[in-house]
Structure 1
Amino acid sequence: MPEITVVRSRDIEVASAVLAQAFADDPVVRWMAPDPRRHRLMFRTLLRYAHGRADGLDLAVRDGQFVGAAVWDPPGHKESATRQMLAMGGFVRSLGSRIGYGAAVEQLFAKARPPGTFWYLAQVGAPAQGLGIGSALLRARLETIEGPAYLESSNVANIPLYERFGFEVTDEISLPHDGPLVWPMYRRG
């Protein structure tokens, strides 16, 4: 199997495309934005205005192709009210009439986050599963950081992957409007 390397990047366009492919069948993404043609814009908006800034974007490369992405926020990360307002246009265009679903996700996730500071894994994904891409992305960042880390798993199938890296399920969130379940996970530092 060809080697997977992980590089730090600021290429929002590449990461948005990879994440849109990776999350095409994700239960939460499909619930919020049923039209997959809007997923790339949603991820582009998240990366431009909310997550992964200041050296927080990792891309996995295999055979010269981008095959996965991970988006991290450092401890204490918080976006300004201005950046949040700028993001609204992209979220309205990508979520359409389901903008309230996106707001519900953000509100419920914010309530579930643990107190204190931690590294936050906003997204990690690879269009092809079972090739070690997610593991390579997690290992690359977790080996370089100190302190706790936190994520919300939107797919029960991914929980064992996160557990291999020391994350533990801390709760279960049931999204409204017959939405899917989400599992907050925490890793002690």
Structure 2
Amino acid sequence: MKYLRYTMILMGILVFGCKPPEARKPVTQNSGSFINESIQRNKQLVAQEEAQILEIIERDSINDYITSENGFWYYYTKRSTDSLNTYTPKFGDVVEFDYSIKSLAGQDIYAEGELATKNYAIDKEELFGGLREGLKLMKEGEVVTFIFPSHKAFGYYGDKNKIGTNIPIIAKVTLHLITEETNKNNND
């Protein structure tokens, strides 16, 4: 009798314990409000930074600023007047340049000479977005001052050294040398 009882209990467990798994319902549902709030915060930040930059440009009666289609502003401190010097760097070219960085208030973050001369292969190495695009506008020997909003500079993370979160910057760049990529296609 005990044997029959244990068999019945075991059979009951097997029959009722072997049902298919049920999908669990989420405890909370995310409506995407965090992402929408983040988008709004970023739009406000960009608008504030652009207002600051445009105010700086308006007060500067000495320099002629150019608005880049890439979302930053710049002016030439030294422009190439050589009619033979028309080449601007393309993908894969290596450029040698120096740069310094200031805050929008004009305070040195990295003074001239503080950063080592850099060699950079255009679009093949890491460099912050604004400078990567700015170098493509320059010719050998030119000196250009760029004003980058934070999203074109070091963005949310900063440079993990002297530039903090969401800091717009002024970068003065001197392009010394452009070395064209040697294995370019001759059909260009």
TM-score of the two chains, using structure 1 as the length reference: 0.25
Higher helix share: 1
TM-score of the two chains, using structure 2 as the length reference: 0.25
- Pick the structure with greater CA Rg: 2
